[in-house]
Amino acid sequence: MTTRIARGLGALVLALAAWLPIAACAQQAAPAAQSAASPQQAASQWNQPPAWNDVSGKGQYASVPGRETNILIQGAGHEWRKLSNGPITFLGGIILLIPLAILVLFYLAKGPIKTHDPLTGRLIERFSSVERVAHWTMGLSFVVLAITGIVILFGKHIILPIVGHAAFSSLTVLSKNLHNFVGPLFIFALVIFITLYIRDNFFSQGDSAWFGKFGGLLSGEHVPAGKFNAGEKSLFWVLVVGICTVMSVTGLILNFPNWNQGREAMQLANLIHGGFAVLAIAMACFHIYLGTVGMKGAFDAMKTGYVDETWAREHHQLWYDEVKAGKRPEKIVAGTAQPATGD
């Protein structure tokens, strides 16, 4: 009997001994489990880094309607500001001055490029009226966009100190509106231009030789070329098809903030637009130079649509030969009253 009692007590003691540490553990564990589940405890992380950093950039709930109103902080604007005010403005300004310096020096050293032989007075149609209208719509709108863009990007540093805040603001309002409304016209003309001119701008056999001698620009050597020489073709593909298309897409993103794009898209579009704009203007300077003061007879080609036979033979011999052989749509117009081009 006593042994049974002793056994019973022993079991009780054992049971107690086994239970006590478990109970103690449970008592310690209970608040910890509660803290993980209770909202009050979870909230203790707020106003403690990095709690806000983790949520600030992400879309949350906002009762105020509108695009991105539910984002607390969009920090990428700082990066945009650094790049826009830094390299785009500073390096961009330098890149714009380089072609001007080169062209002024080239003009002073070599003067305009003239034809070697006298003009014949026989004219060849070079550009149809449709081609000229497309070129000038694109070209003039490009110039308007370039000038107004320069006012917006650099005006604060070069015009504002001279004319003052009020006058510069009026100029910039005008520039901004011209830029925004001429932009879509430029894109329209760009599409037409590419469609009309792409046919004669595919690279062909003589082009590598032209590149090798750089068109004889420095040596004065004669390098035969098709309707467009390799330099013009490069400009077509790089500037018109490449850069201008990128500028059009980024321009539309910036021009229509009522589409649903966010700030990040506009920051990126603005940087690309500004960077490529500077390159585009720098490249266009060379084209504008050669099309006006740099080469006798070139401007008339786009103004009247006709060039002199001598000009065609000396600058675009392969094209001239084809026209003469009757392989091209362009025709030679015999004998006008006076030589209209190239003198």
Partner 1 sequence: MARMKFICDAERCIECNGCVTACKSEHEVPWGVNRRRLVTVNDGKPGERSISVACMHCTDAPCMAVCPVDCFYKTEEGVVLHDKDLCVGCGYCFYACPFGAPQFPQAGAFGLRGKMDKCTFCAGGPEENASAEEYRKYGRNRLAEGKLPACAEMCSTKALLAGDAEVLTKIYKTRVVTRGKGDEIWGWSMAYGGSGMLADQPGGKA
Q: Name the token pair of 339.
A: 């030589």
Stretch that binds partner 1, among 129-137, 147-155, 204-212, 332-340 (CB under 8 A): 147-155
Q: Quick one: which H or E segment has residue 180? A: helix 165-197
- Contact stretch for partner 1 (CB under 8 A) within 5-13, 99-107, 172-180, 242-250: 172-180
**Helix 244-255 with 165-197: angle, nearest 10 deg:** 130
Distance CA 100, CA 117 (A): 30
Stretch that binds partner 1, among 14-22, 59-67, 292-300, 313-321 (CB under 8 A): 59-67
Task: Measure the CA–CA gap between 21 and 275, rounded to whole angstroms.
Answer: 72
Instruction: Collect all residues with Cβ–Cβ distance below 8 Å to 197 and sequence separation of at least 6.
Output: 131, 134, 236, 240
Judged by CB under 8 A, the stretch of 8-16, 27-35, 250-258, 299-307 that binds partner 1 is: 250-258
Of 298, 309, 310, the closest CA to residue 229 belongs to 298
- The site map against partner 1 for 77-96 (x = CB under 8 A) is xx-xx--xx-----------
Looking at 115, 229, 250, 255, which residue binds partner 1 (CB under 8 A)?
A: 255
What part of residues 178-207 is at the interface with partner 1 (CB under 8 A)?
180
Closest CA to 330 of 292, 303, 287, 301: 301
Is residue 147 near partner 1 by the rule CB under 8 A? no
Interface residue with partner 1 among 44, 219, 292, 336 (CB under 8 A) is 44
Task: Look at the block and give the residue holding tokens 């590598």.
Answer: 208
Give the count of residues interacting with partner 1 (CB under 8 A): 56
Q: How far apart are the first and last CA of the chain?
A: 139
Check binding of 63 to partner 1 (CB under 8 A): yes
Q: What whole-number distance in Å separates Cα of residue 111 and Cα of residue 103?
A: 10
Rounded to a whole number of angstroms, the minimum distance from the CB of residue 319 to partner 1 is 43
Please tell me the number of Cα atoms within 13 Å of 208 on its side-chain side: 1
172 versus 201: smaller Cβ distance to partner 1: 172
Residue 191 or 266: the one with the smaller Cβ distance to partner 1 is 266
- Pick from 2, 3, 205, 258 the residue near partner 1 by CB under 8 A: 258
Beta strands in 96-178 (DSSP E): 123-125
Q: Three-class SS of residue 203?
A: coil
CB of 72 to partner 1, least distance (A): 5
Residue 69 to residues 47, 63, 266: CA-CA distances in angstroms? 21, 9, 16
Determine, following the binding rule CB under 8 A, whether residue 39 of this chain makes contact with partner 1: yes
Residues that bind partner 1 (CB under 8 A): 38-39, 42-49, 51-52, 55, 60-64, 66, 68-75, 77-78, 80-81, 84-85, 152-153, 155-156, 160, 165-166, 168-169, 172-173, 176, 180, 254-259, 263, 266-267, 270
